[in-house]
Amino acid sequence: MDTAPVTREKRDNSLWLEEEQTDNMRLALKVTDVLHHEKTPWQDLLIVDTPEYGRTLILDGAIQLTERDEFCYSEMMAHVALCSHPDPKRVLIIGGGDGAILREVLKHPNIETCTLIDIDERVIECAKLYLPTTSCSMNDPRANVRCMDAMAFIKDTSERYDVVIVDSTDPVEFAAGLFQAPFYQDVKKILNPTGMMIELTESPFSDTALMKQAITHMRSVFPVVRMYWGVVPTYPTGMWTYGAASLSADPATPIRPVEGSTRYYNSMIHRASFILPPFLEELIVEQPHA
Amino acid sequence: MDTAPVTREKRDNSLWLEEEQTDNMRLALKVTDVLHHEKTPWQDLLIVDTPEYGRTLILDGAIQLTERDEFCYSEMMAHVALCSHPDPKRVLIIGGGDGAILREVLKHPNIETCTLIDIDERVIECAKLYLPTTSCSMNDPRANVRCMDAMAFIKDTSERYDVVIVDSTDPVEFAAGLFQAPFYQDVKKILNPTGMMIELTESPFSDTALMKQAITHMRSVFPVVRMYWGVVPTYPTGMWTYGAASLSADPATPIRPVEGSTRYYNSMIHRASFILPPFLEELIVEQPHA
């Protein structure tokens, strides 16, 4: 992408961010201010302010989060594993340089350390400058924020984790490998014996193939794989799915609450989010081996 | 609205439908064909074909349904009441001239009659011509499709119903009264003693005020009022809420399945849809009387 997807409308001179959600569908948000725009070594990074959703982070033209609705996503990425794992102490977040999932993870007093590895240092730096509500926990003494290629890190590290949360951008270019079996194998190797992995698996309406692929590859690596879902208004179609892969415990069963306030998640929503509408259940039905 | 919200893009000559979901947010769908466009006595009526969602019905610039995702809405509007009411035999649909909710209602063999009253005859006629997958049940012997002002009908009729489903357009102009206490009083008068009413109550993100107003007014009229929610990708923000008002039984408790296939609804989704995320629960918390 060569230019930011912000254009000025002729009729009233207003600015609009236009996101190509698919080849045939776009979401447009009015923009009151372009706060930051740069080409990083990795991607086009844009931060704008919008009347509908507040400050909005856009990477390579795709909305990553907005101040107003990120809680729907961040809470569901963090708390499902942290409330169902038998005793989570060490967490690894891959991606997530905005800090929103880190903030949610650190609400749990039992967490001893949370390492966040984002490939793009500029995302982290800009989040600190422009997104205080998401980057607010980066200086927590339990937080360990690093800039490097997480796929290389997990191949080499001798560290072990209880929960790995994969907060990727869309599955293209450097992020494509994050939805395939070799990556899941690498994650499995750095998990403790009761470990869990959480990863977004896109929308069943706008990215059916990726969703099915990710779940199929997870099943080829982990003994327990479940899907859950929720709403994220600024993600394509609003219906968002998540894959939960576990070495032992069932991610669908919460065994502790979140200490601290949440706006989307609670233990009843946790259980309800694993109940899939029949059309979605059908899309990921396990095929018997030939 | 003076013209259809379909415009031709200069760079590649493609047609796009652009829906103003709020003053600050738009959804745009690529259009392959404009199937029909007219000004009826009531509204601007447009039917287009889209690669993303199939055929799409737009009234006064607002997407009413698409072939690909209407099941999310139609099933949740029809089956929650029909599966929780003790013995539903007579159903009234207000609006819904496309026929999709009628189709869902008539999946229940216990239904003796389903009356559909839409103010706009042209919606019904065009649905028959262009939307065969939603209008397919209009000739069912149990269907009674009428074109008139439903608000006048329910004031005058001596008929009584077990379930009333209010499938309105957005709450502006002739539809504004459908979200207020006087209308709910009129609905209550035509309900049998165990009657239920279902009505869409918009998105908690994009129309919070209407949602809160509708639930508050329902509570002033009905002894049992519950909210449930689901996803509808082409409705603003994708997160859609529904109000369920009842004279006795709890709409949150399914007591029978749907006979016939469904793609969004089943009895587990029924129960789960009444579990509200904390932010939504808070928005509609009942205020103690002064």
Whether B136 and B178 share a structural domain: yes
Whether B50 and B149 share a structural domain: no
Chain A, 165 to 204: residues with Cβ < 8 Å from chain B are 203
Whether A151 and A55 share a structural domain: no
Instruction: Take residue B245 and report the two structure tokens written for it.
Output: 């008002």
Adjacent-strand bridge partners of A239: A231
What mean pLDDT, rounded, does chain A reach?
A: 95
Overall number of domains in chain A? 2
Kindly report the length of chain A. 290
> Last residue of a domain, which of B24, B42, B66?
B66
The mean pLDDT of A45-73, rounded to a whole number, is 97
Q: Could you list the residue range(s) of the whole structural domain that residue B256 is in?
A: 70-283
Contact A203, B69 (CB under 8 A): no
Whether B234 and B166 share a structural domain: yes
A268–chain B Cβ distance below 8 A for any pair: yes
**φ and ψ at residue A9, rounded to 5 degrees:** -85, 135
Name chain B contacts of A239, Cβ cutoff 8 Å. Answer: 231, 233, 238
A260 within some domain: yes
CA dihedral B205, B210, B211, B212 (to 10 degrees): 110
Q: In what order do the strands lie in the sheet with A113-118?
A: A143-147, A113-118, A90-95, A161-167, A191-200, A239-246, A224-231
CA distance A231 to chain B (A): 6
* Coil/strand/helix, residue B13: coil
Q: How far apart are the first and last CA of chain B?
A: 43
Whether A54 and A82 share a structural domain: no
Nearest CB partner across the interface for B28, out of A26, A71, A203: A26
A277 within some domain: yes
Q: What angle do CA B98, B104, B108 make, to 5 degrees?
A: 145
Whether B18 and B115 share a structural domain: no
Whether B90 and B208 share a structural domain: yes
Mutate one of B3, B18, B31, B52 to test the A interface: name it (highest A CB count within 10 A). B52
pLDDT for B115-124, tens place per residue?
999 999 999 9
B17 within some domain: yes
Q: Please give the pLDDT value at position B113.
A: 98
> Does residue A121 surpass a pLDDT of 60?
yes
d(CA A59, CA A39): 10
Name chain A contacts of B264, Cβ cutoff 8 Å. Answer: 277-279
d(CA B31, CA B56): 10
Q: Please give the pLDDT value at position B1.
A: 42
pLDDT for B3-49, tens place per residue?
568 999 888 999 999 999 999 999 999 999 999 999 999 999 999 99
Whether B54 and B109 share a structural domain: no
B213 within some domain: yes
Contact A26, A18 (CB under 8 A): yes
Whether A125 and A33 share a structural domain: no
CA distances from B108 to A134, B80, B91, B228 (A): 48, 12, 11, 21
Whether B29 and B102 share a structural domain: no
CB contact under 8 A, A262 and B239: no
Q: How far apart are the first and last CA of chain A?
A: 43
Q: Please give the pLDDT value at position B171.
A: 73
A111 within some domain: yes
Q: State how beta strands A191-200 and A161-167 pair.
A: parallel
CA distance B189 to chain A (A): 35
Confidence of residue B290 (pLDDT cuts 50, 70, 90): low
A266–chain B Cβ distance below 8 A for any pair: yes
The mean pLDDT of B79-83, rounded to a whole number, is 98
B233–chain A Cβ distance below 8 A for any pair: yes
Q: CB under 8 Å to B285, separation ≥6 — which residues?
A: none
pLDDT for B272-288, tens place per residue?
999 999 999 999 998 77
A288 within some domain: no
d(CA B18, CA B48): 12
Q: Please give the pLDDT value at position A287.
A: 78
What mean pLDDT, rounded, does chain B reach?
A: 95
Q: Please give the pLDDT value at position B4.
A: 64
Identify the closest residue of chain B to A54 by CA–CA distance.
B24
Confidence of residue A3 (pLDDT cuts 50, 70, 90): low
The single residue of B44, B98, B120, B167 carrying the catalytic annotation is B167
A37 within some domain: yes
Whether B37 and B119 share a structural domain: no
Nearest CB partner across the interface for B279, out of A203, A264, A271: A264
> Last residue of a domain, which of B66, B88, B107?
B66
The mean pLDDT of B61-75, rounded to a whole number, is 97
CATH number of the domain to which B93 belongs: 3.40.50.150
> Last residue of a domain, which of A33, A49, A65?
A65
CATH number of the domain to which B54 belongs: 2.30.140.10
With pLDDT > 90 as the criterion, what percentage of chain B qualifies?
91
CB contact under 8 A, A28 and B30: no
d(CA A258, CA A192): 22
CA distances from B112 to A148, B193, B256 (A): 66, 18, 17
Whether B94 and B124 share a structural domain: yes
d(CA A187, CA A91): 12
Burial of B286 (0-12, 13-18, 19+ CB in 10 A): exposed
CA distance A265 to chain B (A): 6
CA distance A240 to chain B (A): 10
**φ and ψ at residue B34, rounded to 5 degrees:** -95, 110
Which of B202, B196, B228, B205 is CA-nearest to residue B214? Answer: B202
DSSP string, B150-178: HHHHHHH----EEEEEEE---SSGGGGGG
Q: State how beta strands A44-50 and A191-200 pair.
A: unpaired
Q: Which residues of A are catalytic?
A: 167
Q: Please give the pLDDT value at position B274.
A: 98
pTM score, whole prediction: 0.96
B29–chain A Cβ distance below 8 A for any pair: yes
B95 within some domain: yes
